[in-house]
A and B are shown apart, each in its own frame.
Chain A
Amino acid sequence: MKNVAQREPSVIPGFGITLGFTTFFLSAIVLLPLSALVLKAAGMDWSRFIDVIASPRALASYRLSFGASLVAAGLNMVFGFVLAWTLVRYDFPGRRLVDAIIDMPFALPTAVSGIALTAIFSANGWIGQYLEPHGIFVAYTPIGITVALTLISMPFVVRTVQPALQEVQRDLEDAAETLGAGRFYVFRRIIVPTVLPALLTGFTLAFARAVGEYGSVVFIAGNKALETEITPLLIYIKLEEFDYAGAAALGCVMLTISFVMLLAINLLQVWGRKRMMVSR
C-alpha cells in the first residue's frame, strides 16, 4: 500500500474499486483464455509437444509469420512515418479525406481486404498483370502476405507517430537551422530522435497486429505448406483436424515468442524515455 500512498491524489476517487475492476476484467478476458490455452497444451506429453511445435511445417510457418510481420512493421515504420509527416506538416486539398482513409483498414473486415488484395495482385488483376511479365509474383507468395500485413497494420504506426510529430516544435528545427545544420542533418539528429519512442510504439503495435492477423492473409497466401502457410492458419488446420492439443501447443509458442518480443521492445522504449526526460 506504500505505493498507493505515494501517488498524487487523483481527481477521480475509488482507486480500490477501479483496481479491482481492472484485475477482474484482465483475468476474465485475457488471462483466463490464455491459461486455458496453456492448460490444454500441458495435457500433451513432452515428446509429442516437441514433435508438434518443431515439425518442419511448424518451423516454416513461424519463420513466415514472424518474418513477414517484422518486415511489414518495418515497412510501416518508414511509410507510416512519411504519411504521418505529410498529414502533420502540409496542408493540401483533401488532407482530411486522406486522414480518414488511414483508418479504413481498422474498420474493414480483414477478409474483405484479403479478397481485394488478391483480386488486384493475382496474375490477371489490375496490378498483378503488369508485375507478372517482370517475374514478380505477389499473390500466393510471401510477398503477398507481407503486402496484406502491411496494409492492415499501417494505421497503428501513423496514428502513434502523428501526435508525436505534432509535438516536435518548429523552433527546434529553426534552432538547428540557424546553427548551420542542413535539412537532412536536422531530420537525422533532431526529428528522428524526438519521435523515436512513438515510432517504436507504432512498430510494436503494428507488429503485434500483423502476427495475429489471419483473415486477410488466408486469401492472398495460397496456403501451401512449408511455403506460404502462416502459423495462425496452421492452428486453424489443426483445429479442423480435431487436434486441439496440437493447436494449443502452436498457440503457446506464438504466445511466448510474441510476449518476449513485445517485452523487449517495451523495455527498449522505457530506456529511450528515460534518456529523453520529457519534462517541460
Chain B
Amino acid sequence: MSIALDQVTKRYQEQPVVNDVSIEVAEGEFFVLLGPSGSGKSTLLRAIAGLTGIDHGRISLHGRDVTHVRARDRGVGLVFQNYALFRHMSVADNIEFALRVRRMKATDRRARRKELLKLVALEGMDERLPGQLSGGQQQRVAVARALAHKPQVLLLDEPFGALDAKIREELRRTIRAVQRELGITTVLVTHDQEEAFALADTIGVMNHGRLLEVGNPNDLYAQPATRFVATFLGAANLLLARQGADGIRFGATPVSAAGAEPVQAGREHEVVAVLRPEEVEIAGAREQLNSNYIARAAVEEIVFTGALERLRVRLLDEPCAAQLLGPSGNGDARLEITRTQHERRSLPLSQGAQIAIGARRLHVLPTPLSSFLACGATEADAAALAREPLLESLSTGMKTRVGLRAIDGLTGTPAPFAGVAAIAGGDNAAATVEWLMRHGASEVLVLPHNAPSPNRVFIHWTDEGARRATLAVAASLLRHVSAEAVYLGIVPESRPGSTRPAPMRALLDARSEAQQSHGLEMRTELAIGETVTELTRNLSTGSAQMLVLGITDVTQAGSAYRSLLAAQPGWPVLIVYRPADSRAAPEIAA
C-alpha cells in the first residue's frame, strides 16, 4: 500500500473533525477525497502531509509508519488551493526551493527545473515572478514545485478552486497526464463531484468527518450504499418503496430494482430507492413505456441546458406522489428528469403536458431506516410528536419524511406500518410498543417530550439474534447524530465459580463487526447485574443520552422494559425488533 490510514481521528476542542477514518491507497492510484465543506477532508489531507497532528490512529506511507514524522521528512508534495507560491521568488527559485533545501548542485537543479517546466508546459517562464502569471499558470508552477524533490506521494488540496471553468478543465487534464506519466500516488481533495469523476481511480466520500463509502466512480454512482452518497454524487430522486417477499412495489405498482435483498415472507418493510434523473423514461402513455411503469405525471418546469433537458414533474397519482422524498422530506416532492436531445426530439413536451413515467433502473439502498411514522392517540397528538426536536432533526438529516398515524385504543388490525414508528414516552409506551410490533412494526422510537439530540448512544441487545439488525440500525442512526457510540454488554450477577470469557468475546465481536460491516467505531462497556437496572443506571449518568435496544421477543417490550420506557423525564429509546426465527439477509447500514 502506498498510503495507509488506520483509524485516524482528529479532534478540535473535543469535537471530532476526522472520525475514525481508514483508507488504503494503492501504488500509482489517483484517489479523490470528496465531501462538502467542513466534512474533514482537508484536515485529513493535512494529516497525511504531516502538517496536522492526529489524536488517534496511524498513518503509513509506503509501509513506513510516519505518524510521528515531521512534514519535512515525509517526502510528500502538497499543492494548495491558493497556490501558496513564494511571491518574492521567481518561478525558477520557487521550483528549485526543495532542491536548494537539499543542497543540490546548481547544474542539477537547473536540469531538474527544465524537466519540470516542460512537464507542466511552462517552458521559458523561469524568470517570471508569480505575480506576472495567470492563476492557471501559477497552479502549474505549484505542481512543478511540489514534484521537484520527487515525492512518493502527491497531495492536492482543492487545486482548481480558485480557477474559472475553462482553465480548470485544462489544468485538470494536465494534472491527470502528469500523474499518469510519473505514476505517482496521488490524493486530491475536492467538493466537486464532476472533478472527482473526471480524475479519480477511486473516490472516498466523506461527511461529518466520517468516511462513508469508498469505491470506483462507476460503482459509487450506480450502487451507492448511503443516502448521502446517492444524493451528493450526482442528482438523485429518492423514493420510498415497499418490499415484500414478492418483490418491490412503488405505490401500488410492482417494480424491479437492483440491490434489493430478499425479505422474510409475511413481513413487509419499507425501503429507500434511488432513481437517477437520466434513468427516468417518459412516454405519452403507459403502453408506450419500455421500462417499469411508475406513475402518471404533469410537467411543471422545463430547463434547457444545452446537451441535456431538465424536467421537473409532479406525480398525479396521490399514493405514488406520497412515496417521493423531496429534499426537505415532506411536501414539495417532485421528480427530476433529464433527457438527451435525441429523446427530446422524439417526444417534444411543453409545460403542463401529461405523461407516463417509467424507471429504467432503480437502486435500493440497503438502509434499515427509511422513514418515520409518528403515532399518537389522535392525529393532533401524532402531529405534535412529529414536531419533537429530535425527530425533526433526524428526518431532516436523513432527508426523509415523518408520516402521521392515529392509533387510538390499540385495537383492531391497523394498516401496515412503514418505516420507524415513533411514539411518545410515558406509562403506556411499553404497551404501545408491544402492540405496534405485533402488528408489523420492526423499529419503534420512544421519544420523551423535548428530548435533546444525544451526545452518547448506548447500544444493547438482549439476544444475539438481534445483533446484526441492531448494529445496522445504530450505525445508520449515528450517521445523522454526532454522538459517541457505546456498546453495553450486561452479564447477570455472577454465580459462584462461574467465569466470564463468553461475554468478553461477545463484546469484542460486536465491536469488530460494527467496525467492519458499518464503519462504526464504538466503545464497549461491561456491566454486571440485572439488564433493566443496568440500562437505567447507565442512561442516568449523563444528560443527553439515548438507547438503541435490540430484542427478539416482543413480549419483553411490554413487560420487562415497562419501567425503562415509563421513566421520567426519560430517554429516547429506539427498539429494534427482529423475531427470533428471522435469519434473513445481511443488513447494512446506510
Contacts and interface: CB of A to CB of B under 8 A. Distances in A.
Interface in A168-185: 169, 171-172, 174-182, 185
Contacts of A194: 87-88
Contact of B72 (A169, A182, A277): A182
B255 to A, nearest CB: 51
Interface string B79-114: 010101011100000000110011000000000000
A176 B88 contact: no
Contact of B146 (A178, A182, A193): A178
Contact of A278 (B72, B77, B86, B131): B131
B87 to A, nearest CB: 6
A64 to B, nearest CB: 36
B88 A179 contact: no
B97 A176 contact: yes
B132 interface: yes
A189 B148 CA distance: 18
Contacts of B146: 178-179
B77 A180 contact: no
Contacts of B406: none
Nearest to A275: B88
B87 A178 contact: no
Contacts of B98: 179-181
A279 interface: yes
A277 B88 CA distance: 8
A112 interface: no
Contact of A174 (B71, B73, B86): B71
Given A174-B71, A278-B87, A179 B149 contact: yes
A270 interface: no
A193 B76 contact: no
Interface in B25-60: 46, 49-51
B424 interface: no
Contacts of B73: 180
Contact of A277 (B50, B132, B148): B132
A190 interface: yes
Contact of A172 (B46, B71, B84, B131): B84
A276 interface: yes
B85 to A, nearest CB: 8
Interface string A257-271: 000000000000000
Contacts of A178: 49-51, 71-72, 74, 76-78, 146
Most chain B CB within 10 A, of A169, A179, A275, is at: A179
Contacts of A172: 84, 86
B526 to A, nearest CB: 42
A89 to B, nearest CB: 16
Most chain B CB within 10 A, of A171, A172, A175, A181, is at: A175
Given A276-B131, A277-B132, A180 B72 contact: yes
A276 B73 CA distance: 30
Interface majority SS on A: helix, strand, loop or mixed?
A: helix
B578 interface: no
Contacts of A182: 72, 101
Given A174-B84, A278-B87, A180 B149 contact: yes
A277 B87 contact: yes
B34 to A, nearest CB: 22
Interface string A189-227: 110011000000000000000000000000000000000
B87 A177 contact: no
B88 A177 contact: no
Nearest to B78: A178
B59 to A, nearest CB: 14
Contacts of A177: 51, 70-72
A181 B102 CA distance: 9
Contacts of B66: none
Contacts of A175: 78, 80, 84, 86, 142, 145
B298 interface: no
B129 interface: yes
Given A171-B82, A194-B87, A275-B88, A181 B72 contact: yes
A196 to B, nearest CB: 8
A242 to B, nearest CB: 55
Given A178-B49, A181-B72, A277 B101 contact: no
A270 to B, nearest CB: 15
Interface in A225-280: 275-279
A175 B50 CA distance: 11
A193 B94 CA distance: 14
Nearest to A179: B98
A174 B82 CA distance: 12
Contacts of A176: 86, 97
Nearest to A194: B88
Contacts of B129: 275-277
Nearest to A178: B78
A197 to B, nearest CB: 10
Contacts of B86: 172, 175-176, 189-190, 193
Contacts of B101: 179-182, 185
Nearest to B102: A180
Contacts of B148: 179
Contacts of A189: 86, 97
A169 B84 contact: yes
Most chain B CB within 10 A, of A171, A178, A189, is at: A178
B87 A179 contact: no
A218 to B, nearest CB: 43
Interface in A12-36: none
Please name the 3 residue pairs, one residue from A and one from B, whose CB atoms are nearest each other, closest first.
A277-B131, A171-B84, A179-B98
Interface of B: 46, 49-51, 70-74, 76-78, 80, 82, 84, 86-88, 97-98, 101-102, 129-132, 142, 145-146, 148-149
14 contacts: A169-B84, A171-B80, A172-B84, A174-B71, A175-B142, A178-B72, A179-B98, A181-B72, A181-B98, A181-B101, A182-B72, A190-B86, A277-B131, A278-B131
Given A174-B49, A177-B51, A178-B78, 12 more contacts: A174-B51, A174-B78, A176-B86, A176-B97, A178-B72, A179-B72, A179-B145, A179-B146, A180-B72, A193-B88, A277-B129, A277-B130
